[in-house]
């Protein structure tokens, strides 16, 4: 069964550095998402992306964050200047259609900012 | 933003026991999704409930959506160690975003 893949599985970076988290959504999916989960807390929505533009973003997704679909397969999340509080699991997700269509999550990238 | 409350937060039971976990809100859900998340993995969708009073079964798992669409439950019959995981409910609050509850961490001991 096709799945969403994320790389790297773990990323350690120093505060202030830029990081790029990579995702390959399921190939025939059109809607793409990033969520994050700080250790011990709930899964939180960051951003949704459709037709090469952001559909919706949360209050967490400030100017330090950006997303891009540089080619037909990859979907990236960039954090320009990481802060300690950006440490979390970052999950990419995709689905074929919107609203009530099954959402498929990747296994996440664990980002640790030191 | 609607707040989803899940209970209990933690549940530890023996293999073979039955259990029920709950997801509640003060507002009406448009629809509700249940996910299971295992350590080091992303959430995996179990079911979506849409209609008030709806009951869906997935093998030993029974999902119920309250008549007023403000609550939902997940009942597991004869739990097995493989059922261990974090059970999350989530509402799709718009065409884009899911709002998750904090989850119930279930441990089934052999």
pLDDT tens profile B36-85: 999 889 999 999 998 999 999 999 999 999 999 999 999 999 999 999 99
Residue range of the domain that includes B21: 5-109
pLDDT band at B95 (very low <50, low <70, confident <90, very high): low
- What tokens does A16 get? 């202030």
- Does the beta-carbon distance from A91 to B44 stay under 8 Å? no
Domain ranges of chain A: 5-113
- CA-nearest residue of chain A to B87? A42
Number of domains chain B contains? 1
pLDDT at B18 exceeding the cut of 60: yes
Q: A11-36: per-residue pLDDT in tens?
A: 999 999 999 999 999 999 999 999 99
Q: Which residues of A touch B51 (CB under 8 A)?
A: none
Q: Which residues of A touch B31 (CB under 8 A)?
A: 100
What is the CA A70 to chain-centroid distance, rounded?
14
- Does the beta-carbon distance from A56 to B96 stay under 8 Å? yes
pLDDT band at B2 (very low <50, low <70, confident <90, very high): low
With a CB cutoff of 8 Å and minimum separation 6, the contacts of B86 are B36, B37, B38, B103, B104, B105, B106
Q: Are B10 and B57 in contact (CB under 8 A)?
A: no
What is the domain-level CATH number for residue B68?
2.60.40.10
CATH architecture of A5-113: Sandwich (2.60)
- Best of A42, A93, A94 to substitute, by most chain B Cβ atoms within 10 angstroms, is A42
pLDDT given for residue A98 in this prediction:
77
Percent of chain A with pLDDT over 90: 87
The rounded distance, in Å, linking the Cα atoms of B59 and B82 is: 13
Q: Is B40 on the interface with A (CB under 8 A)?
A: yes
- Does the beta-carbon distance from B42 to A105 stay under 8 Å? yes
């Amino acid at each position: 069964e096709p799945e969403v893949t994320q790389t790297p599985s773990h990323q350690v970076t120093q505060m202030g550095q830029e990081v790029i988290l990579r995702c390959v959504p399921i190939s025939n999916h059109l809607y793409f998402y990033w969520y994050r989960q700080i250790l011990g807390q709930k899964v939180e929505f960051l951003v949704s992306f459709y037709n090469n533009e952001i559909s919706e973003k949360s209050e967490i997704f400030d100017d330090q964050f950006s997303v891009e679909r540089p080619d037909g397969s990859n979907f990236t999340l960039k954090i320009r200047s990481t802060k300690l509080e950006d440490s979390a699991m970052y999950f990419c997700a995709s689905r074929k259609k919107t609203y009530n269509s099954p959402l498929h999550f990747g296994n996440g990238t664990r980002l640790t900012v030191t | 933003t609607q707040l989803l409350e899940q209970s209990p937060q933690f549940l530890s039971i023996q293999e073979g026991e039955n259990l029920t976990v709950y997801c509640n809100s003060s507002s009406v859900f448009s629809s509700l999704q249940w996910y299971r998340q295992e350590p080091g993995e992303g959430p995996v969708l179990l079911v979506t409930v849409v209609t008030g009073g709806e009951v869906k079964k997935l093998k030993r798992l029974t999902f119920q959506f309250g008549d007023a669409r403000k609550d939902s439950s997940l009942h597991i019959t004869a739990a097995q160690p493989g059922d261990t995981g974090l059970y999350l409910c989530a509402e799709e609050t718009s065409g884009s975003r899911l709002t998750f509850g904090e989850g119930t961490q279930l441990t089934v001991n052999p």
